[in-house]
């Protein structure tokens, strides 16, 4: 019997987690987002039709974070943190976000005046992102366009900046 596995276990057990260094020279991977292109989109346990369906997603436009891509499948994470696989053909590159606030969120006509509320957006409403500033995003919902606080949204809003005109 060799003592190497026992010694390694002991050393790892004795080493504080703060002393274990990670490779910080590697650049962070950019966060990639996609939107679900169809209603009743299936999320599967693995990358193929032979894998069981974990969730069926509605409505169209829900944002998902793309963790990795295979040839015809993408591993994605939804707003609940569920990691599953979707066929690439059911994903599109639209900038959408999901309202996650528990109370209705005001859609404001002008971000600087903050006085005219166009509508109030309920939880789980999908919005199309037009542009973002430090704390707000300009979004479109059907025929309404206005500003919403980023904290009320889940999706690619943390990585978007306002476009220079």
90-135 pLDDT per residue, tens? 999 989 999 999 999 999 987 566 678 999 999 999 999 999 998 9
The pTM of this model reads 0.74
CA distance 142 to 155: 18
Domain extent listing, the chain: 32-93, 97-159
Classify 97-159 by CATH class. mainly beta
What CATH code would you report for 32-93? 2.30.30.40
């Amino acid at each position: 019997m060799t003592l190497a596995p026992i010694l390694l276990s002991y050393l790892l057990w004795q080493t504080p987690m703060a002393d274990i260094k990670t490779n910080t020279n590697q650049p962070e991977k950019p966060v990639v987002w996609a939107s679900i292109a169809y209603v009743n989109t299936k999320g599967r346990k693995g990358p193929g039709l032979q894998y069981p369906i974990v969730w069926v997603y509605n409505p169209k436009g829900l944002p998902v974070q793309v963790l990795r891509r295979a040839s015809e499948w993408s591993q994605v994470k939804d707003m609940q943190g569920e990691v599953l696989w979707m066929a690439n053909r059911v994903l599109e590159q639209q900038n959408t976000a999901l309202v996650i606030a528990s109370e209705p969120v005001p859609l404001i006509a002008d971000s600087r005046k903050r006085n005219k509320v166009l509508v109030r957006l309920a939880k789980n409403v999908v919005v199309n992102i037009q542009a973002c500033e430090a704390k707000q995003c300009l979004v479109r919902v059907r025929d309404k366009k206005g500003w919403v606080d980023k904290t009320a949204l889940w999706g690619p809003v943390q990585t978007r900046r306002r476009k220079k005109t």
